[in-house]
Amino acid sequence: MMSALERLGVPIDEFVNFDTLAADARKFVAKGLPAILTWFKFDMLPKVHWAANGKPVDPQISLI
């Protein structure tokens, strides 16, 4: 959905604050993993990169 908005010329910065995204993700992860997801091997997920600049996404952000 964000990509579609971006293609239409809508700046996604209106919806996502990249400056606080990592901090928000860390707060969420600090709450702990829900018991129902303990079976999932999160460490096996591939590393992801931001499409806009190719920089790696903070692992805390890519978990949420």
Q: What is the pTM of this model?
A: 0.46
- The residues, ordered by sequence, that sit 6+ positions from 64 with a Cβ below 8 Å of its Cβ are 25, 28, 29
pLDDT, residue 36, reads 92
Total count of domains within the chain: 1
Mean pLDDT is lowest, of 23-27, 46-50, 56-60, for 56-60
pLDDT band of residue 64 (cuts 50, 70, 90) is: low
Written as one string, the DSSP assignment of the chain is -HHHHHHTT--GGGT--HHHHHHHHHHHHHT---GGGTTS-GGGSPP-B-TTT-PBPPHHHHT-
pLDDT digits (tens, 9 = 90+) for 3-45: 888 889 888 777 877 778 878 888 888 888 888 988 988 888 8
Range of the domain at 16: 2-62
User: Is pLDDT of 48 > 80?
Assistant: yes
